[in-house]
Amino acid sequence: MLKMSLLGIGFALCLAHAAQAQTTGHATPPDGFHHFSDSDLAALASGKGALTLATLADHENHYVLVAGRTGPGEVEVHEYWIDYMAIQQGDAEFTFGGTATGMRDTGPGERRGGAIAGGTVVSLRPGDFVVVPAGQPHLTVVKSGTVFRAIVFKVRQ
């Protein structure tokens, strides 16, 4: 009985802490049930150039995107967001770490462009999962003429 009481108190404290979370400009209403089929995700991630992003869910401390690429991307650094990526379609070379140079500011804590020196390159394929810590330079390069798609979970650090 004491364990159940302590567990209940711990759960209440977690809820109280979550309620005090700082807002970051993302939506906060509760989500209803959503189902996205593979063809829905493919349609959302295509047809808008070398990079197409569509938001699947949006909250104050996390959001979820489907990202489609048909060509090389730019170096990216997100100072406040951790990227969790589940690869769904296509192959890409992914460079992470090292030192980014020549970047431009694209928003608060967001930089793009330039190059990465001394990064590590890995090959990404469907079924792979990648974790990119906040502040780490990364670059996705897709061969021209191919389609690459990933679900990206962005979590505020």
The whole-angstrom separation of Cα 99 and Cα 115 is 8
Is this structure's pTM higher than 0.85?
no
Edge-to-edge strand list for the sheet holding 81-89: 51-58, 62-69, 148-156, 81-89, 129-132
Q: Does domain 28-156 have CATH number 2.60.120.10?
A: yes
pLDDT tens for each residue of the chain, 157 residues long? 433 443 343 433 333 444 444 444 565 566 788 999 999 999 999 977 889 999 999 998 999 999 999 988 899 999 999 999 999 999 999 999 999 999 999 999 999 999 999 999 999 999 999 999 999 999 999 987 889 999 999 999 9
What is the structure's pLDDT at 144? 78
Bridge partners, 69 (sequence order): 51, 148
Bridge partners, 132 (sequence order): 83
What is the structure's pLDDT at 27? 57
Q: Where are the domains of the chain?
A: 28-156
